[in-house]
Structure 1
Amino acid sequence: MSSLSFNPVIQLKTPPPSRSKINSRFIPISARLHNNQQQQQQQLNFSVLRFTFGIPGLDESYLPRWIGYGFGSLLLLNHFFGSGSTSVPQLRSEALGLSLAGFSVALPYLGKFLKGATPVNQISIPEEVEQIFVMSPDISDELKEDLAWVTYILLRNTNTFSVMVSVQGKLCIRGYWNTPSDVSKAQLHDWFNRQIENIGLFDLKETFYFPQNSGSRLSNILPKRTSSLLVQTVVGAPSSLNSNEEQKTEGFVLVASSMGYAYSDKDRAWIGAIANKFRRERTCMI
């Protein structure tokens, strides 16, 4: 017994590493990817927002006009009610200030003219339609917050009266929509889901824009006076382990307006940036 226990020739065989130990190497990678996705979701509430005071009835696009009116009025008051005689340099300064004030007043008009769109306050509210706000019932709080913010800023900062977002298999419908009177609010989500499946929006592969006609296939859910329609696809990011993998469509952002040519190139680029915020990176699990 003692000779066997102290024999130096005997070697113990170590068992092969278990699969759980092999998989443990990929835990930090998955954690980093998860943290990156969380950071992207946290940035969504801030990076897609445009400048706004949040004051009801105040259009921030006309802010330069009110600044021009204010400073121009101050210059005129100082000129007519100021004490003492007016020197030549002061007259030149006042003329320059009035020129800048006049340019600020005309700036909103020039911006609308260059964009080729009608001002936002000229959108006609559709008649005989219902204003709704519907979300999928089985949705996380984080995604619910993101969808609520995105639909709000699209309605607030663009010429839009109807917006629909489909991402990660979830729906968010907001604004004015043509819904049947016999469908209750609890059934609206299922009704919209069936309409989207019949139209084929879930299978959409590329973005399309109708600046003057919304298309006959969407007329049963959009208001009658809809003139412009933009459907921006949400394309999934390629896999981190296979950059050559084909990108798949994961959803869409639909906006509609009663105005013709309602979405300029800048608006469409901004809406596309919002859609990119919902992109999810696909990873290969081993």
Structure 2
Amino acid sequence: MTTSPIAITGATGRIGGRVAQRLSAKGAPLRLLVRDLGRAPDLPGAQAVLAPFADGALVQEALTGVEVAFMVSASEDAERVGQHPAFVDAAAAAGVRHLVYLSFRGASEGSTFTFARDHAATEAHIRDSGMAWTFLRDGFYADFMPGLVGEDGVIRGPGGDGRVAVVARDDIADAAAAVLADPGAHARRTYTLTGPAALSFNDIASIVGEVQGRQVTYVDETPGGGPGLPRLLRRPRLGGGGVDLDVHRDRRRRARRGDRGRRGAHRAPGDAPARRAAPRRLTAAAGGRGRLSPRRARPERCAACSGPCRARAR
């Protein structure tokens, strides 16, 4: 592990905060880049500094003396496309050698999913920056699933019969901490982080209901009875497991082009086959005990060595 401080952005958030806690517990010196010093976590060996993404001068000053930095993507906002390059340029100017970026599954410039295009643009800018890099691409959070249940005990949305391998934030933080502790072993590698099981929204409703001791059901709101949002989002061209505010418009655009795409869920390398099993941390997020042994987030095969490189905490 490097003796210079490891920079963590988003340290007041759910991912950055978890990563900072794990690295602090290992005794790593940390520099926490935050927008509000009053919300910065008080961790051993950590120094909090004010450095919003859009302020290149403050970011460069905050990153001076840092060799390795963890960049959590900024909040979903129209300004994010401009904020990310500003941060990357400031990091390079400050002398950062390795940037670990929390990206998005299926990031692609040609995606019809807005956020996937944003992340692809950021990845391209990082590649051109001269810094070493590692990209961690995640998707739907397992921790988020219980929050989809309405007061009437119903999950509603355009999910159809698609499946999604939801991943726990704790697993993402474990993978990120492992990479940051030994960045050289993961240079120029892209990891797709998923959960251990591909679940339908009926599966998710059943799991949440069982754990919470009530009936939870899923009501499909897919327009026209199509294949459903998660199935579409599992296709790499569409960018992974997020929610596109323009998905209905995008589906109409594809229909006009005659681009219906193949049916069925895409499974990226490292995904587990579909099965009716509850990831332990999904049941934990719903308020109960898990039924499976913990599974770490799974990386895809490395483009550099074609091997199943693992970004696991040991």
TM-score, normalised via structure 2 length: 0.23
When Rg is computed on C-alpha atoms for both structures, the one with the higher figure is: 1
TM-score, normalised via structure 1 length: 0.24
More helix by percentage: 1
